[in-house]
């Protein structure tokens, strides 16, 4: 693994992005239910939505995200961690053309390996993970459903709700 040194010298080029928290009712079990009745006729399972990040109009060389580490429970099934990593991937993938920026995570635990591959890891020092993802691959991954709950929706129903 090669070592990369990144130095920040110009505070004027820092862009802060806001991301709304996911609702408390958005749980891992809601995104990835154990059982989905695919033969339901009157009720279509409703998938929870994660708030989207507003992508900046300017190109970003580096996206930095500090991921939470829940003291209790399974950190790999934490909705806040998933949400922040999806937002970081969305911002990184918004770059036009062949530009490949970096994504940096500050986390005690590794980022999602199905979204940020080990082969894209440029450097790791302690709790800092620096990736240079292939943007075409990242864009393809972002087109996939977030949770298995979306796999049971009839065609054309994504994002629609139908309460019982």
Length of the chain: 164
Long-range contacts from 120-123, C-beta under 8 angstroms, 24+ separation? 121/1, 122/1, 122/2, 122/4, 123/1, 123/2, 123/3, 123/4
Give pLDDT, residue 39.
65
Question: Which pLDDT score, from 0 to 100, does residue 24 have?
Answer: 86
Dihedral angle at the C-alpha atoms of 93, 96, 102, 104, nearest 10 degrees?
-40
Mean pLDDT per block of 10 residues along the chain (164 residues) reads: 45 80 86 70 70 88 89 79 93 83 92 91 96 92 75 53 44
Provide the whole-model pTM. 0.77
């Amino acid at each position: 693994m090669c070592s990369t040194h990144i130095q920040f010298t110009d505070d004027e080029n820092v862009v802060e992005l806001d991301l709304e928290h996911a609702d408390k009712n958005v749980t891992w079990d809601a995104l990835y239910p154990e059982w989905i009745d695919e033969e339901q006729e009157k009720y279509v399972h409703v998938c929870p939505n994660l708030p989207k990040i507003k992508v900046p109009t300017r190109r970003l060389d580096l996206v930095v995200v500090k991921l939470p580490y829940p003291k209790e429970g399974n950190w790999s099934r934490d909705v806040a961690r998933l949400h922040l990593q999806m937002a970081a991937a969305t911002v990184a993938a918004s770059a036009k053309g062949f530009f490949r920026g970096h994504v940096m995570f500050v986390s005690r635990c590794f980022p999602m390996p199905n979204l940020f591959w080990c082969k894209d890891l440029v450097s790791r020092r302690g709790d800092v993970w620096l990736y240079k993802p292939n943007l075409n691959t990242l864009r393809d991954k972002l087109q996939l459903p977030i949770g298995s709950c979306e796999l049971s929706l009839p065609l054309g129903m994504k994002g629609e709700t139908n309460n019982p």
